[in-house]
Structure 1
Amino acid sequence: IQRLRDLGILRQLQQKYLVDKEPRRASHPPVTWGGIAPILYVLIGGIFIACGIFLVERIYDRLSYSVRVYRRKKLMEKYLNNVDLPKKAPLPENFTFTVR
């Protein structure tokens, strides 16, 4: 078979016996914009819905973060107001800072 292929005889036999009598026709009609439009509408609608959900999540996350920080701050203030902290020892009168 390799020798026939090298000599070109195999190609001649294929062209002689394996030739399509009729050219192939498309079995489906061409697709128009009217056929694609519903799919595009669904895709674009999904993108808008996804962007809307993303924005809602971002806003919720920022608001919940600020509420958490506010509550934590209030809790710390409440805790620190109820705790008796030791008083600082006074510095001696002749104490000075030296910078080298």
Structure 2
Amino acid sequence: MTGAGAVDADPLRWWAIRFWSESGPGTDVEWGLLVAVVRFAGSLLVLAVVFANLSWLAGWADRCGAGPMYLGFVLVLSIAGHAFWKGVEVLIARMIHRGC
């Protein structure tokens, strides 16, 4: 199937093509891949820092209140998790597109 129906039939291919062509014509740097790697590595760093400081969470909750600490913890983990999975999605789509 060709045309618009082909995009609906294979959404992963559509994502791969979209992020593959993100760098634009005549550029040497693949910005989509660079952003995906930075997003992936940065989110891993944030997740590592959060999990390394879990032992401090109870003390911070006593000092600042359990509600704000819980909401902040969930917010940071949600943002880091989203960035992690978005980076993974782009990297996998690029590997599939290149046939790695």
* TM-score where L is the length of structure 2: 0.34
Return the structure number with greater relative CO, CA threshold 8 A, min gap 6.
2
